Structure formats: C-alpha cells, structure tokens
Amino acid sequence: MGFILSVAIAVVSTFLCLKYLDYLDYYKKDKRTERIRYIGFVAGIISIIPTFINYEINELLFGWMVNGPFLYHFLIVGFSEEIAKYTMLIAMVYFFRSIKEPQDGILQGAAVGAGFAFFENLKYALDYGPMNTIIRSILCTPGHMMYTALAGYFLATAVYSNLEVRDDRSSWIAVGAFIPTAFIHALYNASYIWAYVYSTGYNTLEGLAYLVDLLTLFITAHVFRSLIEHSPYFVYPYSRSKQAIRSLLRGLKLNPSSFVLNRRLGLYYLAAGRYPEALKRIRYCRSRQPKKHNTWDVLEGIALMGSGKSDEGLQLVTRARENFGKGERFRIELFLQRIIRDAGLKLRVRNILNPRVFKHNHYFDRRRKYGPRDYWKSDSRILKERLEEYSELLREKRQMESR
C-alpha cells in the first residue's frame, strides 16, 4: 500500500511539473512541440541506463581523487547523472530538431530532468516509503529539472549562435555545460552530509542545500525571462521593424513553416516599405488561412500597390471593402495606420476603404493639386482650402450680380 501511495505521489507531482512547462511554452502549436516535453520525460527515464554506466567509468577515472563528500558528489554522482541527462537532451534535440526559440532549451532540459527525478523517486520509495517521496517531490524533482534546464540553456545558445556564422566558443561552452550543473548538484548533495557530520544544532549546513536550490531557481527564472526578448516570437513595435525582421528571419531558419512568424514578418516588411518581400509572406499566409480572405486581400493589395502594381492592388482592396462590416472596416483601418509608414500609401488605403468619407480627398486629386511631396496634407487643411475657394467663388458671383 505504501509503495502504491508513493507511486501516486510521484506521478502527480511530475504531471504537475510537466503541465507547468507546457503552460510556459506559449507558441507550442505553431512550433509543433506539443508533445516534446513528454518525449523529454521518457528520455529522462531512459537516461538512468547511461547513468549506471557512468558511475562505473567515473569510479575508475576519479575514484583515486575522492577524499570528501563534495568531490565524491561532484566527480562521481554529479558527472554521472548530469552527463547522462545532458546526453539524452542533445540526442532528443538532434533527432527531433526541437529547439525553435532560445527558451526551448530550458523547457526541454527541465522535462528530461523531470523524467530522471521520477524514476529516482520511485527507487527511493521502495526503500524509505511515501514520506520520503513527498520530500523528494518538493525538493529533488525541481532540482533535477533546474540542473538540466541550465544545461539546456547553453545548448540552445549554441544552436542559435551557429545559425548565421560558425561560433566555436558557444559550441565548446555547450560541450561542457554539464560541469556547472554537476557542481551545483554536488553542493546540494554534500550539504546534507556536512549537516549530518558537522551538526550545529540549527541545521545550518542543511539549510545550505535549500539555499542552493533557491539560488538555482532564481538564476533559471531570470535566464528564462531574459531570453524572451531574444525570441523570434517577441513582439516588437512597428517602429523597430528592422530589428524585428532580423529576429524573425533567424527564427524562420529553425521553423520555416511557422504561420505566426511568416505573418509577422509580412507585416514588418510592410512597415519597413519592403513590399515585394511582404507580398511573398502575405501570399504564403493567405494560402494557409483561406477563411480570412478579406483581411489578406487588403494586405496583399497594399503590398501590390507598394510594389508598383496599383490597378491589381486597388482591385483587391476594393473587393475586400465590400465584404467588410462597418466595425470590421474601422478596425482594419486602425490596424493599417499602425503598420503603413508611407504617408501617401496610407492615405490612399484610407480613401479606398472609406470612399464616402474621403471622396473629395482622393489620393490622385491631392497629388495632382499639391504635387508629389505635399499630397499628404491633413484633412482639416484641405477642408479649409476648399472653403476658402468656395467663399471666393461666392464673392465673385455676388460682384457680377451687383454689376
């Protein structure tokens, strides 16, 4: 009965950890990584096999150097477990091409650590019962997850650093990523032994273990949050379109079929005035999402007009306008005002979307009247000039009548 209860505790705690990792991966559907955490969990369980092999090898290599609890847990325990988990993480990333953004290394590494901790908790449950499983689920499971997550961070950094040019430095750092995690692991384990051997009556050294895990959690959370701004899914304002385009192109090298990245890239190309490139991305997204054809018609029409194909673009935007409701047309117009930076093109699109409001202010009339540089004059200024012209005509008419 006790073993069944221990298994239930281990299963529930691990399931909650995996669901939290799933929650942190916001764009998993676009990256098609919905199941990668469960694959990582299985990989973590399998990593038990190379761990036992590593124990034997490390005993032969470093056994003569061990003269204390820290060195034992660093050279034997830490190296054996962290190398095994990290090797399984590398194999999973290589086989499934699962790193699509920098945070993926942390999330997938944590999943591998959860699988390893789950098996280890079951092993200890056989010897010490349910209470030990509860304590290990609170302390050891998050610890194993964070150790492998930090190693996954170095792996993801190496993947991103080698996208455009070869970066040997990041590659070598990724090769040795298990060393700092093995050090943290050893410090955590050794703290319990020191607390038992050098008992002070206040469990000061045992508290060091909790402090190590808290610091590791803080570092992991800080690194994860800092990576969000380096993700291709980070939402830049349209005024920073150049930086956004560079980030999106890097992300598309790892995830070329991403709908979200292609859609955003098309919009940032529009904001940057790179209309032929925007047209390519918009047509790709339109083929992937045919139901919202009105919105894509407007965007494609703008890209065509910017590319010099005015008649074709005008036809697309006009056709889309007829199918928009009043509220939809207002929303799409506000949306386009934020994207389009070319004042003339912006005015022309407004005229097409609202022909009744702007029928006296058409793009071509303005250009003909004010020339190529001043056709974006404000509506209030144009209205004032029109009223002045009308007043002048009335004055001339009255003078003629008085004669």
Per residue in 50-62, pLDDT tens?
999 999 999 999 9
Determine the average pLDDT of the residues in 366-394. Answer: 60
Query: Where residue 373 falls among pLDDT bands split at 50, 70, 90?
Result: very low
Structural contact between residues 303 and 270, judged by C-beta atoms closer than 8 angstroms = yes
pLDDT for the residue numbered 281:
94
**Is residue 314 classed exposed, middle or buried when 0-12, 13-18 and 19+ CB atoms within 10 A define those classes?**
middle
Structural contact between residues 317 and 352, judged by C-beta atoms closer than 8 angstroms = yes
**233: helix, strand or coil:** coil
Question: The tokens of 287 are what?
Answer: 């083929």
Determine the average pLDDT of the residues in 257-269. Answer: 94
- The pLDDT of residue 75 is above 80: yes
pTM, rounded to two decimals: 0.82
Please list, residue by residue across 343-378, b when 16 or more beta carbons sit within 10 angstroms of its beta carbon and e when fewer do: ebbbbbbbbbbeeeebeebebeebbeeeeeeebbee
Rounded CA separation 189/176 (Å): 21
Give first-to-last CA distance, the chain, whole Å. 116
User: 238-359: what fold?
Assistant: 1.25.40
The more confidently predicted of residues 7 and 148 is: 148
**Is residue 168 classed exposed, middle or buried when 0-12, 13-18 and 19+ CB atoms within 10 A define those classes?**
exposed
What are φ and ψ of residue 303, in 5° steps? -65, -35
Q: pLDDT tens, 78-113?
A: 999 999 999 999 999 999 999 999 999 999 999 999
Query: Where residue 347 falls among pLDDT bands split at 50, 70, 90?
Result: confident
DSSP code of residue 230: T
Task: Dump the DSSP string for 131-156.
Answer: HHHHHHHHHHHHHHHHHHHHHHHHHH
Residue 2's closest CA among 128, 136, 120? 128
Query: Taking all residues of the chain, what is their mean pLDDT, rounded to a whole number?
Result: 84
Positions of CATH 1.25.40.10 in the chain:
238-359
Rounded CA separation 75/78 (Å): 6
pLDDT for the residue numbered 121:
87
Rounded CA separation 264/248 (Å): 8
Longest Cα–Cα distance of the chain, Å, equals 122
Query: Where residue 375 falls among pLDDT bands split at 50, 70, 90?
Result: very low
199 φ/ψ sector (left φ>0, alpha ψ -120 to 50, else beta): beta
Helix, strand, coil fractions of the chain, as percent rounded to 5:
80, 0, 20
pLDDT for the residue numbered 98:
92
